[in-house]
Structure 1
């Protein structure tokens, strides 16, 4: 979902909690400043206890996080290591719609009849384990049953997972953009590793008005799995490059943010046609008439 910079130092915020409270704490930490690099849940399989841990590349304000979360948040500096990669290694494969997302350690578990995508843990976010990424993959699978898309844009591509999924579905050119050069490099590597390197064009861009993205517009499918703040801020420029009859998939937002985000896109001629939810998170599917 979001790109990340894993250069040391790295800080960890820990919140002991009950398992039932963990998803709400994760949502609060995702939205609280500064933006975390990753948020993880550690659970005791035999007890009702859990631990939510968030990783940051700048020191977070523990007192502020404690007030936002409503529980004591402990902040500590971690020793130099690629903690993002270590936290994601060994994660189980993900099945979302027609897609099966896996790492090298699960190469022998790919079932028949799926679209496989090998995504290694690394310096960009998006291995399919976050609810919003899985929601977007499910939406892609559903859209593929209805029509083809010839010109696709993935805004905030991270590892390139959604762009690669679109390229595998339709075998048409896909543009993947991100503000982080590391994410773009990871996307290129993943596209090649998944056999769609020639189809995925990766662009370092700070928004839809980048010259390359404008030149390739309009797009008949745009995927934007970013947070509610950027979704509202970029609404005019994103809406401007959706083709007539085109589809827009928005995610990275919580249930209570759905109406807010929609209010920024409806004035630009986009209507809601589907809503999908997983846990506290949502994905909205809009169309231009």
Structure 2
């Protein structure tokens, strides 16, 4: 009986050790599904790898199935996709992202194509794609399905983020521009910026998409160079910035926000009010007014129920006078 117990304990222990070896390689295994990719175009995705070992290891990377020849791997810091990789060093007990670019051949028929992205434990010797044999327990795959079409889908969403809503005289108004390309074609949109003060246009210009900028690839996010407007010589006061996204000669999106030029002692508060209004100063003040109204009503209800505010009563009366 004791011998049986010892054998069972040994089996469990060895199984545990084996399980640790299997799960040393980690990869998110949720299937990758990419729809409506044009033939001749590219699609990008990111896979996240995990090394649960307490030492640095090397992972090999490859694709199999119908998409095997379409996939190329790049390190996360290679944002220009210039240096393909087939393996990557994984720091101990760390996650690492790897970018994968799928290039669809020009002669690919419409349809659905399946394959798998494999991550495996690479040996110290040089890897040869045709000769390398990897134990199943030392690799993890992630299913990929790509649907190829010949129908163009143009769908672009832009986000604009002013670096500040309170611009000092002589300093430029800077606006970050982020694109979310939800279509299946790469795009190079232009931007129109109009600056208005007291219902008068003081600046109006179109910023063509920079030739030095890479196009916004299909199904990707990209931040491009910020646009600027110089405030030198402009009067202090309130201004409105109006932005339009222009693609193929057509306006596809517009956005506006309020900002100030000059030195303001309460610039921090002004920025906070603008933030409450989603970048619109007037809406921000409206939100604050609504909050004060709710506060006044709450005080009134509490007072009628016999709550004694003592020193707070004076504040309550002042708030009521505002309304």
**Same fold judged by TM-score > 0.5?**
no
TM range (shorter): under 0.3
Higher strand share: 2
Decide which structure has the larger Cα Rg and report it.
2
The TM-score, its normalising length taken from structure 2, stands at 0.22
